[in-house]
């Protein structure tokens, strides 16, 4: 689905550094989501957004910050990365039909 992209696709960083993961969608979907995927935990919701300037916490928001100044972008920032934040991060978007379309994912390693 070329309509939703994530960057970077791979990132290695060190503990304590700030990292921003980008998500961009071209469908003008209202809803956008950030998940992390870890073995044994499936997909856990970090933050979501119902529209520009409207965001809310998901299941595991601690250590993460989001913003949504434009409908098409939903960046996720790790303010001070920790090893426990090593994971694969997926962004997703949806319209009012509930089906979520996922981006290709970002594999983040925190050393």
Chain residues binding other proteins by CB under 8 A are 1, 30-31, 33, 35, 40-45, 48-50, 56, 58-59, 90, 94-96, 98-100, 102-105
Q: Please report how close the Cβ of residue 78 comes to other proteins at its closest, in angstroms.
A: 21
Q: Measured from the CB atom, is 8 or 16 closer to other proteins?
A: 8
Q: Which is nearer to other proteins, 66 or 81 (CB)?
A: 66
Residue with tokens 């809803």: 31
Query: Which is closer to other proteins, CB of 77 or CB of 107?
Result: 107
User: What gap in Å lies between CA 87 and CA 110, rounded to an integer?
Assistant: 9
At its nearest, how many Å lie between other proteins and the CB of residue 19? 20
Closest CB 6 distance from other proteins, rounded Å: 9
- The CA-based angle 52-97-47, given to 5 degrees, is 40
Structure tokens, 61? 């928001």
Strand partners, 88: 37, 107
- Give the integer Cα–Cα distance in Å for 32 and 92: 6
- In the bound state with other proteins, the residue whose beta carbon lies nearer, of 63 and 105, is 105
Q: How far apart are CA 60 and CA 36, in angstroms?
A: 9
């Amino acid at each position: 689905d070329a309509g939703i992209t994530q960057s970077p696709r791979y990132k290695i960083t060190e503990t304590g550094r700030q990292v921003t993961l980008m998500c961009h969608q071209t469908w003008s979907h209202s809803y956008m989501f950030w998940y992390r995927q870890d073995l044994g935990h499936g997909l856990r919701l970090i933050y979501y957004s119902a529209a520009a300037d409207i965001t809310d916490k998901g299941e595991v928001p601690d250590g993460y910050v989001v913003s949504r100044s434009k409908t098409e972008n939903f960046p996720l920032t790790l303010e001070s990365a920790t090893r426990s934040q090593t994971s694969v991060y997926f962004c997703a978007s949806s319209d009012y039909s509930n089906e979520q379309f996922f981006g290709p994912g970002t594999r983040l390693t925190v050393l």
